[in-house]
């Protein structure tokens, strides 16, 4: 979908230019939602650094988290500025800023694929940290490069394909695991979930006008206290890290890390591509909700703030978050984004994360992720014609393969086995690992391709379908999709199959067509 041209500033009835408000009542509700989401992710990345890579706590709380806080504050502040400019230029008071935060998939990738191998091979967690910083630095450069091609990709790709692959990410990676964790602790998780659904779907108003997210957290903490799940004895130790921690420039960390991360450059490229495709999809989601943002500015800001974060020592990438429709429905406008950035910065600079880790039960905040996921998935169907529903569902399919792959690989690693040795036994039990692996690699891109090809077939735009199939062949050949890494002739069989699909789509132009299908296509 093409981006809309921004009109000139709309005057108010008195003749003055419209001046949008920085803060409205609904921003408080959205702040507790997005803010809690970001805090949750801070807790996760902190746990990964401390528990997996064994980075010293002084470094985590004194250097890394302050760098992450600065990165997230800059991004949220800029997206709040873009929202205010959009509101001012259109004269609308219902503009909602893009949400952003640390990229969740990349937390696990940079820790497990980049930092942990360096830690194991060298025994030095500091060198592992340097490798993570260098990897994200390279990824940020890819995002900046992608900002020049993403607008053209978005213009040529159907909305159903963009939102369909986004819905797949949302359901597979944002809904399923949180829902499982909620059912592992239902006494906390289910009450918190119904509070979120009641407040943000049913419009239930809570005492004193408290936001639904805050009520969910408070109720969760209260239940955890009553049933003994919350141990207050560890809070005193958590306060040892409270103080004021300023980030420092760490250019030597990037140079040191490059020595260990150059062999992993091929993994930084596809994940950089993943980032700008995901951001592109989220900008499309915002436009379908009524807020049209300049994609190139969004991506340049994303890349630049990620680079700033790495220069200060952050080994985590920035991301435009899924969930603009949810925060818009929750009442968020401009101020919630800026306030979230300031909140995260304060938490990181003051060393409050350990205190939050010891106070807030995880099941009390996971329903927020579930709420966002539900709205994002629903938007794909609500904003596109019903005839495109099969394309949206098809775009989701690779993400379920990717999600299943994480479960199978994790299970095999836990028992010291591998799919190479157990492939035939897995197949006998209905686990088609090879197909799951191929389908799950590069899922956000392949999902977009599947959705686009299907949309163009539904609309009988056969040459466009052939073009996307041909693109799938090229991407498969070089390993951007369906392969473990970028290279030459990574998946030649799949590349050839995509080429054959492209030829067949092209030949469909010359085949007789069913009249009923023709009516449905129009």
Question: Can you give the residue ranges of every domain in the chain?
Answer: 25-382, 386-510
**Average pLDDT in the 150-172 region?**
85
Whether the per-residue pLDDT at 36 is higher than 70: the answer is yes
Q: 207: which DSSP letter?
A: G
Whether the per-residue pLDDT at 271 is higher than 80: the answer is no
**Secondary structure element (H or E) that encloses residue 129, with its range:** helix 125-146
> Which of these, 152, 146, 148, 26, lies nearest to 97 by C-alpha position?
26
Q: What average pLDDT does the structure give for the chain? A: 85
Count other C-beta atoms under 10 Å from residue 252's C-beta. 9
Give the model's confidence band at 336: pLDDT under 50 very low, under 70 low, under 90 confident, else very high: very high
Residues 33, 38, 39, CA angle at the centre, nearest 5°? 95
**Average pLDDT in the 7-14 region?**
48
What pLDDT sits at residue 7?
45
- For 41-76, the pLDDT digits (tens) are 888 788 889 888 899 988 999 999 999 999 999 999
Whether the per-residue pLDDT at 322 is higher than 80: the answer is no
Provide the token pair at 69.
Answer: 């806080």
What pLDDT sits at residue 13?
44
Q: Tell me the torsion sign for CA atoms 507, 511, 517, 518.
A: positive
Give the model's confidence band at 5: pLDDT under 50 very low, under 70 low, under 90 confident, else very high: very low
What pLDDT sits at residue 14?
46
C-alpha 61/C-alpha 46 separation (Å) is 9
- For 112-146, the pLDDT digits (tens) are 767 887 888 788 999 999 988 998 898 888 888 88
- Burial annotation 253-266 (CB, 10 A radius, 16+ → b, else e): bbebbbebbeebee
Token match 């977009």: residue?
448
Q: How would DSSP label each residue in 367-396?
A: HHHHHHHHHHHHHHHHTS-GGGHHHHHHHH
- For 487-516, the pLDDT digits (tens) are 899 999 999 999 999 999 999 999 887 765
**Average pLDDT in the 301-312 region?**
93
Whether the per-residue pLDDT at 1 is higher than 50: the answer is no
Give the model's confidence band at 211: pLDDT under 50 very low, under 70 low, under 90 confident, else very high: confident
What pLDDT sits at residue 237?
67
Percent of the chain exceeding pLDDT 90 equals 38
Whether the per-residue pLDDT at 236 is higher than 70: the answer is no
C-alpha 22/C-alpha 97 separation (Å) is 11
C-alpha 233/C-alpha 359 separation (Å) is 11
- For 352-401, the pLDDT digits (tens) are 887 877 788 878 888 887 887 887 788 889 888 999 999 999 999 999 99
Classified as helix, coil or strand, 250 is: coil
**Average pLDDT in the 320-346 region?**
90
What pLDDT sits at residue 391?
97
What pLDDT sits at residue 227?
84
**Residues 134, 261: contact at Cβ < 8 Å?**
yes
What pLDDT sits at residue 162?
83
C-alpha 448/C-alpha 149 separation (Å) is 16
**Average pLDDT in the 180-186 region?**
91
Whether the per-residue pLDDT at 476 is higher than 50: the answer is yes
C-alpha 90/C-alpha 23 separation (Å) is 18
Which residue did the predictor score with more confidence, 241 or 7? 241
Provide the token pair at 133.
Answer: 């910083």
What pLDDT sits at residue 425?
82
> Which of these, 33, 73, 31, lies nearest to 373 by C-alpha position?
33
What pLDDT sits at residue 11?
53
> Which of these, 31, 61, 36, 71, lies nearest to 349 by C-alpha position?
61
C-alpha 273/C-alpha 443 separation (Å) is 12
C-alpha 371/C-alpha 392 separation (Å) is 20
Whether the per-residue pLDDT at 445 is higher than 90: the answer is no
Q: Which residues contact 353 (CB under 8 A, 6 or more apart)?
A: 42, 43, 46, 61, 65, 241, 347
Provide the token pair at 77.
Answer: 């502040």
Which residue did the predictor score with more confidence, 35 or 44? 35
> Which of these, 235, 191, 172, 201, lies nearest to 363 by C-alpha position?
191
Residues 291, 143, 375, CA angle at the centre, nearest 5°? 35
Give the model's confidence band at 300: pLDDT under 50 very low, under 70 low, under 90 confident, else very high: very high
Provide the token pair at 181.
Answer: 């964790």
Q: 18: which DSSP letter?
A: P
Whether the per-residue pLDDT at 263 is higher than 70: the answer is no
Task: Find how far residue 405's CA is from the centre of its chain.
Answer: 18
> Which of these, 429, 474, 377, 475, lies nearest to 176 by C-alpha position?
377
C-alpha 446/C-alpha 438 separation (Å) is 10
Whole-structure pTM value: 0.72
């Amino acid at each position: 979908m093409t981006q809309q041209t921004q009109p000139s500033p709309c005057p108010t009835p008195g003749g003055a230019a419209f001046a949008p408000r920085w803060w409205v009542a609904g921003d408080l509700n959205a702040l507790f939602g997005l803010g809690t989401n970001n805090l949750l992710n801070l807790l996760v990345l902190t746990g990964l650094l401390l528990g997996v890579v064994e980075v010293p706590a002084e470094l985590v709380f004194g250097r890394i988290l302050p760098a992450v806080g600065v990165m997230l504050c800059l991004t949220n502040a800029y997206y709040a500025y873009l929202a205010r400019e959009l509101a001012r230029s259109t004269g609308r008071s219902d503009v909602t800023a893009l949400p952003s935060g640390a990229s969740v998939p990349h937390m696990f990738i940079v820790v497990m694929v980049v930092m942990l191998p360096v830690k194991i091979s060298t025994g030095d967690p500091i060198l592992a940290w340097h490798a993570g910083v260098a990897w994200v630095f390279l990824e940020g450069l890819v995002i900046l490069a992608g900002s020049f091609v993403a607008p053209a990709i978005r213009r040529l790709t159907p909305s159903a394909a963009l939102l369909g692959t986004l819905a797949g990410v949302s359901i597979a990676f944002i809904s399923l695991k949180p829902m499982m964790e909620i059912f592992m602790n239902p006494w906390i998780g289910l009450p918190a979930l119904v509070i979120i659904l009641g407040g943000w779907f049913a419009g239930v108003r809570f005492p004193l006008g408290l936001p639904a997210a805050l009520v969910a957290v408070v109720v969760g903490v209260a239940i955890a206290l009553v049933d003994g799940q919350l141990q207050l004895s560890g809070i005193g130790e958590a306060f040892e890290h409270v103080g004021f921690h300023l980030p420092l420039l760490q250019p030597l960390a990037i140079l040191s890390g490059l020595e260990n991360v150059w062999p992993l450059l091929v993994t930084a490229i596809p994940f950089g591509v993943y980032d700008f495709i995901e951001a592109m999809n989220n900008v499309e989601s915002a436009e379908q909700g009524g807020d049209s943002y300049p994609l190139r500015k969004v991506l340049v800001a994303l890349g630049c703030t990620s680079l700033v974060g790495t220069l200060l020592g952050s080994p985590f990438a920035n991301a435009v978050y899924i969930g603009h429709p949810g925060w818009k429905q929750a009442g968020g406008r401009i101020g919630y984004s800026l306030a979230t950035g300031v909140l995260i910065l304060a938490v990181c600079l003051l060393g409050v994360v350990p205190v939050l880790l010891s106070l807030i039960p995880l099941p009390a905040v996971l329903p927020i992720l579930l709420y966002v996921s539900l709205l994002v998935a629903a938007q794909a169907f609500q904003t596109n014609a019903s005839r495109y529903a099969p394309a949206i569902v098809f775009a989701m399919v690779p993400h379920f393969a990717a999600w299943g792959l994480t479960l199978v690989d994790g299970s095999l690693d836990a028992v010291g086995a591998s799919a190479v040795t157990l492939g035939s036994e897995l197949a006998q039990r209905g686990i088609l690992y090879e197909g799951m692996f191929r389908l799950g690699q590069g899922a956000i891109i392949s999902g977009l391709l599947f959705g686009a090809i299907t949309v163009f077939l539904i609309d009988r735009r056969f040459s466009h379908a052939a073009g996307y199939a041909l693109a799938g062949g090229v991407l498969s050949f070089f390993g951007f999709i369906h392969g473990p890494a970028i290279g030459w002739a990574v998946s030649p069989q799949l590349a050839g199959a995509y080429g054959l699909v492209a030829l067949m789509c092209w030949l469909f132009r010359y085949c007789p067509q069913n009249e009923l299908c023709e009516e449905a296509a129009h």
